[in-house]
Amino acid sequence: METDMTDVQKDRPWLIRTYAGHSTAKASNALYRSNLARGQTGLSVAFDLPTQTGYDSDHILARGEVGKVGVPVCHLGDMRTLFDEIPLEQMNTSMTINATAPWLLALYIAVAEEQGADVAKLQGTVQNDLIKEYLSRGTYICPPKPSLKMIGDVAEYCYTNVPKWNPMNVCSYHLQEAGATPEQELAFALATGIAVLDELKPRVADEDFPALCGRISFFVNAGIRFVTEMCKMRAFVDLWDEILMERYGVEDPKFRRFRYGVQVNSLGLTEQQPENNVYRILIEMLAVTLSKKARARAVQLPAWNEALGLPRPWDQQWSMRMQQILAYETDLLEYGDLFDGNPVVDGKVEALKDGARAELANIDSMGGAIGAIDYMKSRLVDANAERLNRIEREETIVVGVNKWTEGEPSPLMGEDGGIMVVDPAVEQEQIDRLNAWRAERDEAAVKAALEALRTAAKDGRNVMPASIAAAKAGVTTGEWASQMRAVHGEYRGPTGVSKAVSNKTEGLEDIREAVDAVSDRLGRRLRFLVGKPGLDGHSNGAEQIAFRARDCGMEIDYEGIRLTPEQIVEAAKTGAHVVGLSILSGSHIPLVEDLMERMREEGLSHIPVVVGGIIPDEDAKRLKAMGVAKVYTPKDFALNTIMRDIVTLVDAEAVAAE
């Protein structure tokens, strides 16, 4: 008998978001308002790297990074402009912010109060997950323990004052981007959740703790192996429920619900045949929407051209339409869970849970997530090396990359190259506005607010009230962060790349022989300096290059992220034979220009410089005109080819020297 579908109670769709922000607060505000008019149902704010790492737009490290990967927010005026004519009381706003999360939330609350909003009604999320920053994304400021304390400050403050706000979004997204296996993604994310709940438990009354557990949300990645990914989401649901029940005694199932938002995988988006990415994004979205039991509460999708550069508004709209078609045109939301009782799914879910539990026990034996940071980092670098090896060996097929590489040129790549380019003038305009803001504020009020903030941090009090007061007084992002640096110190995360050769040297014999031969000619071991100038913390590429170079027999010099061109040149003076730069934030032109100029001044022009990143063809020509020897982009996935290039470049120098 056919069921009458007119009486079916449809599920509500997930929140439809677009991760957006660029150039300036004013330009981003216009983008948000147009996205909301087109049917977006929540805001997802991308901040630029200086804002994420606690620097003002005029700081030396911010050079070339302002407005590139998100919106610069230096003070209350910027935040006011960002949400102009957007009623915050009615919004659900996700802010992808971590080290400066207390500060950006303070600015948001201050703007909401200016709008006359009831702060208790504000809804949204700050990511506020520092542990994954040490492992994969690199926008940390302070060491792990004080960072965990600040996560707790935000959660405790929100619980009392902004009860509908998610104060912490355990983010496994970047773990997968750094190469995590599904079991590692489950375990490392859940270990982070446990670390945060252990920090929070003593801060609230026992009867309030379950509700606080219920405010912790997750931000997850979904890759192309969509059956595994769907099972991973079901495993997340089960394991979080298990942890809250068994470890914390949370009785009410409502507070044990695994609530998550998702952006699907950017790591698998290809520069080659980029139109194929549309299908990848759709398939990956199915992993987090098909299973009602484990369905995402909010979804944001990358655009088809993100491996090429910044998407244009049309590209983002296209990804949003993908969500709307699935949510509103299909019958997906009319049914219960499609996979309950399926033996294949149940078997896979149990296997993933077993693997994750074993990894969790391992982390627990090291004192939990904070104690296991070095271990987790090295595991991610190893897993990513294995993933790349499989692509190089064609054990993993990537369409258009290592198989079926011949194709028609894409008509989507219009005259603008299929991407949006941020006007370099934006940086100076932002600095001018920042200077005007500083000139017009009450310096005595700023000084008093900073003193109160520093005292609160030093005394171990919750920093949120003092941060909100500082926001209203006109304090800047860099000034807020400098107080945290002064009290807690700075931190350099582990690189995950040891000096010892790995067990992945099979097939490298000919390159190792070539490295030995060149090293003999040089009179010492070929030394490769890998540097990450600027604030870009996406270190996967640099790590994998250093990892492979080491396995090929080179001496590697890799100190990790966030170096100035001056620091890299200083390191080059101590005997580098080749310098490799990795920049994925789009700031390659000003940073490489600065570095090449310094190399010339120091008499190091003979050392070849190679650059990798998301670099459009026109920019690659400009870099070569500056003297860069080789430019690599995501399409250059064959690491051994890059290694041979390096040997050839250094050999030419060695021969010339003879």
Which alpha helices (DSSP H) does 215-312 contain, by range? Answer: 226-246, 277-287
- Range(s) of the chain covered by CATH 3.40.50.280: 508-656
Average pLDDT over residues 120-124: 96
Look at residue 473 and tell me whether its pLDDT is greater than 70: yes
Average pLDDT over residues 209-223: 95
Q: Give me the torsion for CA of 252, 255, 258, 263, rounded to 10°.
A: 160
Q: Give the pLDDT confidence score for residue 505 in this predicted structure.
A: 85
Average pLDDT over residues 284-294: 96
pLDDT classification of 142: cutoffs 50, 70, 90: very high
Q: Give the pLDDT confidence score for residue 412 in this predicted structure.
A: 86
331-334 contact pairs (CB < 8 A, 24+): 331/5, 332/289, 332/290, 333/10, 333/11, 333/12, 333/13, 334/5, 334/8, 334/10, 334/11
List the structure tokens of 334. 């009319």
**Distance of alpha carbon 645 from alpha carbon 622, whole angstroms:** 20
Half-sphere exposure for 51 (CA within 13 Å, toward CB): 33
pLDDT tens, residue by residue, 478-520: 999 999 999 999 998 899 898 888 888 888 999 999 999 999 9
* Sequence-distant (≥ 6) Cβ neighbours of residue 656 within 8 angstroms: 606
Short-list 488, 580, 483, CA closest to 528: 580
Question: What is the maximum span of the chain, computed from C-alpha positions, in angstroms?
Answer: 88
Q: Give the pLDDT confidence score for residue 647 in this predicted structure.
A: 97
Q: Give me the torsion for CA of 471, 475, 478, 481, rounded to 10°.
A: -60
Q: Give the pLDDT confidence score for residue 445 in this predicted structure.
A: 98
Map residue 169 onto helix, strand or coil.
strand
Q: How many CB atoms lie within 10 A of CB 503?
A: 7
Q: Give the pLDDT confidence score for residue 655 in this predicted structure.
A: 73
pLDDT tens, residue by residue, 352-366: 999 999 999 999 999
**Distance of alpha carbon 227 from alpha carbon 363, whole angstroms:** 27
Characterize 593-603 residue by residue with b for buried, 16 or more Cβ atoms within 10 angstroms of its Cβ, and e for exposed. Answer: ebbbebbeeee
**Distance of alpha carbon 202 from alpha carbon 227, whole angstroms:** 40
Q: Give the pLDDT confidence score for residue 2 in this predicted structure.
A: 45
Look at residue 35 and tell me whether its pLDDT is greater than 90: no
pTM for the predicted model, two decimal places: 0.91
Average pLDDT over residues 280-285: 97
* Sequence-distant (≥ 6) Cβ neighbours of residue 567 within 8 angstroms: none
CATH number for the segment(s) 15-393: 3.20.20.240
Q: Is the dihedral of CA 573, 574, 579, 583 positive or negative?
A: negative
End-to-end Cα, the chain, rounded Å: 88
Which helix or strand (DSSP H or E) is residue 572 part of?
Answer: helix 565-572
**Distance of alpha carbon 323 from alpha carbon 15, whole angstroms:** 10
pLDDT classification of 416: cutoffs 50, 70, 90: low
pLDDT classification of 417: cutoffs 50, 70, 90: low
pLDDT classification of 1: cutoffs 50, 70, 90: very low
List the structure tokens of 9. 């109670």
Which helix or strand (DSSP H or E) is residue 555 part of?
Answer: strand 555-558
Q: Which residues are catalytic?
A: 19, 173-174, 532, 536, 538
Query: How open is the CA angle 584-590-592, to the nearest 5 degrees?
Result: 70
Which alpha helices (DSSP H) does 139-257 contain, by range? Answer: 144-161, 173-177, 182-200, 209-213, 226-246
Q: Is the dihedral of CA 566, 571, 576, 580 positive or negative?
A: negative
The three-state DSSP-derived secondary structure of 326-358 is HHHHCCHHHCCCCCCCCHHHHHHHHHHHHHHHH
List the structure tokens of 261. 């938002």
Which helix or strand (DSSP H or E) is residue 632 part of?
Answer: strand 630-632
Map residue 256 onto helix, strand or coil.
helix
Residue where the block lists tokens 């200077």: 435
Look at residue 211 and tell me whether its pLDDT is greater than 90: yes
Characterize 552-578 residue by residue with b for buried, 16 or more Cβ atoms within 10 angstroms of its Cβ, and e for exposed. Answer: bbbbbbbebbbbbbeebbebbeeebbb
What is the number of residues in the chain? 658
Contact call for residues 526 and 579 (beta carbons, < 8 A): no
Per-residue CA distances from 287 to 265, 340, 652 (Å)? 11, 15, 50
Output 413 or 219, whichever has higher pLDDT: 219
* DSSP calls for 494-547: --S--SS--S--TT-HHHHHHHHHHHHHHTS--EEEEE-BSS----HHHHHHHH
- Range(s) of the chain covered by CATH 3.20.20.240: 15-393
List the structure tokens of 254. 């409502």
**Distance of alpha carbon 363 from alpha carbon 371, whole angstroms:** 8
Q: Does the domain spanning 508-656 belong to CATH 3.40.50.280?
A: yes
pLDDT tens, residue by residue, 221-268: 999 999 999 999 999 999 999 999 999 999 999 999 999 999 999 989
Q: Give the pLDDT confidence score for residue 658 in this predicted structure.
A: 63
Average pLDDT over residues 117-139: 95
Average pLDDT over residues 211-229: 95
For residue 468, the one-letter residue type is I
Average pLDDT over residues 321-344: 97
**Distance of alpha carbon 535 from alpha carbon 583, whole angstroms:** 9
**Distance of alpha carbon 574 from alpha carbon 2, whole angstroms:** 78
Average pLDDT over residues 4-33: 81
List the structure tokens of 23. 């150039």
pLDDT classification of 3: cutoffs 50, 70, 90: very low
